[in-house]
Amino acid sequence: MTDLFNSLAFVGKVKAKLHRSIEGTIKTVTVSLDPSGKYFASILTEAEGDNPVVSTDGKVIGVDLGLTHFAITSDGCKVSKYDNPKHLAKHEKNLKRKQQKLAKKQKGSNSRNQAKKTVAKVYERVTKSRQDFLHKLSRKLVNENQVVVVENLNVKGMVRNHNLAKAISDVGWGTFVNFLAYKLEKKGGKLVEIDRWFPSSKLCSNCYYQIDELPLDIREWNCPHCGTRHDRDVNAATNIRAEGIRILQTDGTAVSANGGEVRPKLGRKSVLRHSPTMLEAYTIVAST
């Protein structure tokens, strides 16, 4: 990173660290102060260039998001599992100690304000480690595949389950899919979302027989029709990929189905809801 001085109208020149070089014409600069006491400047720029042509000519991967494993992927031949880092759990004991110290401080005192910043710094470390993991995994999947298929998850509805709310909030599924969306868009790839009600776990990926019930604690099951034994998450990732291919073919898009059979029916199309706006804004850390 490069040290530089930037001029701000209300304070004059301040020393800052530039995360990366600025390209294009600067349109807006937004300065913000986070709870840990650090100032950030997000710079929105406009650069000339042609948008990449969207193509589905390449590898297609299905991604099933979960809690035990953050992501299980299937490209029709190979299945990969990525463990859930559980960022918040790693810092939970330290966070609890810091919050207890904060609770003992007198309201309005300088020591209480300092304790608040200490707690905020712990949350900042959690956020940064989560963002780092999500960026690296999304970049890996985008670099290796042209089409990524995911489920349209109702995260807001899922966090109403008090037993899973903390774990669901910690994994950052929504942020991860947004990262996939804008990185694929920049590459000329495609993100396909399938309907959240599509029975990806309950459907046998071998014969397409659908079972009625599959409780969350059942991680493996045998298909009563063809006898195939399924890992719940691997089966879901395989079905998600096949359904994404079916949606693309229904829309008239040419897509390679190498490595996996394409189901002729089942499933419904969902609308892409993600917006990559502001995710590529340049960020400067400044100190007065």
What pLDDT, in 10s, does the model give residues 209-224?
999 999 888 999 999 9
**What is d(CA 241, CA 56) in angstroms, rounded to the nearest whole number?**
13
53 vs 228, residue with greater confidence: 228
Between CA 215 and CA 211 the distance in angstroms is 11
| DSSP classification of residue 180 | H
151 is catalytic: yes
Q: What distance in Å separates the CA atoms of residue 267 and residue 239, rounded to the nearest whole number?
A: 10
Q: Rg for the chain (alpha carbons), in Å?
A: 23
Of the residues 75, 151, 193, 243, only one is catalytic, namely: 151
Check if 50 is active-site. Answer: no
Q: What is the pLDDT of residue 88?
A: 87
Residue 51's pLDDT band, with cuts at 50, 70 and 90, is confident
Catalytic residue (one of 75, 193, 233, 243): 233
Strands 12-18 and 229-231: unpaired
β-bridge pairing 12-18 and 25-33: unpaired
Helix (H, G, I), strand (E, B) or coil at 40: strand
Residue 238: Cβ-neighbour burial (10 angstroms; 0-12, 13-18, 19+): buried
Active-site pick, 23, 34, 50, 64: 64
What's the mean pLDDT in 144-152? 94
Residue of 267 and 97 predicted with greater confidence: 97
pTM over 0.85: no
User: Does pLDDT of 156 surpass 90?
Assistant: no
CA 169 to chain centroid: 12
Range in 5-9, 119-123, 151-155, 248-252 with the lowest mean pLDDT: 5-9
- The stretches of the chain forming alpha helices (DSSP H) are 87-104, 110-144, 155-158, 165-171, 173-187, 232-250
